[in-house]
Amino acid sequence: MTQEIGKSIRTRDRLIFALDVPEIEQAKKLVEELGSHVNFYKIGLELLMTGEYFLLLDWLINQGKKVFVDLKFFDVPQTVASAISRLSDSGATFATIHGNDSIMHAAADAKHGTLKVLAVTALTSLDRGDLDDLGFSCDVRELVLSRARRALDCGCDGVVSSGLEATEIRKSLGDKLLIVTPGIRPVENRPQDDQKRIVSVSEAFSNGADYIVVGRPIRDAISPPQAAASIQEQIEACFA
C-alpha cells in the first residue's frame, strides 16, 4: 500500500462519494450534510438528466470539492476527444471513458490541465454470467488486465476496476496507473444490491486501489455523516 503513484494523494481525498440521487437539490443537501467528511464527489448519468449537471459541477468546485465526471464517454474517437477537451476546462479531476484503443488514444491526447482520464475495465455489476451474455469468453480478470494494459499504452491516467482485480493490475503494471475502485461494501452486501464484484475498504487498498467510490452505504445510512466518518477512519488506518 505504499505505491509511488498514491503517495501524493491526501488520505481524505481517497474516498469518493457517489452522488447517485435524482435531483440537484437533493445532491446539494447531501454535500452540505456530509461537510468536511467528504471532499471528492462522483456525479453520473442520473444527475445528467436533470439538465443542471454542469451547474452542479461548478457548484461543487466552488464549494472546494473535487469532482469525478462519471459519464463513461463512448463514441467515435473525435467526438470523445472533443468532449474530453471541453471537460478539461471545467475543473473536474476525473472523467471516465469506454471504448477501444483509438477512443482511449483520442481521449488521452485531448485532455489538458488537471483532468485525468480513467478507462472503465469491467463494471462491478457484471459477473461471469453477464460477460457470457455480452459475448466475452475470457475470464473477468483477464479482461480487466487486458483493458488496463491497453489503457496504459494509450496514455490514460488510470482505470476503474473492482478491488478483486486491482492486485493483478498492480502485479502486472506496477504503479503506472491510478486505480479507482467502486463496489465498496463496508458491511454485508444486501440481496437487492446490483454490485456483484465487491470488496471492503481495507481489501480495496490492500489490493492496490488509490481511491474508492462509495455510494449507498453512505447515502442510505441512518446518519450519512457518521457513515462517511467511519469509512474515513478505516482509510486512515490503511495508511497509518
- Residues annotated as catalytic are 72
Q: Are 11 and 236 in contact (CB under 8 A)?
A: yes
Residue 158 parent element (H or E): strand 158-160
Q: Are 177 and 158 in contact (CB under 8 A)?
A: yes
- Pseudo-torsion of CA 30, 32, 33, 38, nearest 10°? 80
Q: Are 15 and 235 in contact (CB under 8 A)?
A: yes
Which three three-digit cell numbers place residue 141? Answer: 480478470
Of 203, 154, 152, 143, nearest to 173 by C-alpha is 152
Dihedral sign, CA of 214, 219, 221, 226?
A: positive
Q: Which residue's entry shows cell 446539494?
A: 28
- How many other C-beta atoms are found inside a 10 Å radius of the C-beta of residue 45? 11
Angle, to 10 degrees, between the axis of helix 24-34 and the axis of helix 224-238?
Answer: 60
Q: Write the single-letter amino acid at 227.
A: A
**In degrees rounded to 5, what are phi and psi of residue 41?**
-125, 140
Taking the C-alpha atoms of residue 73 and residue 79, their distance in angstroms, rounded to an integer, is: 9
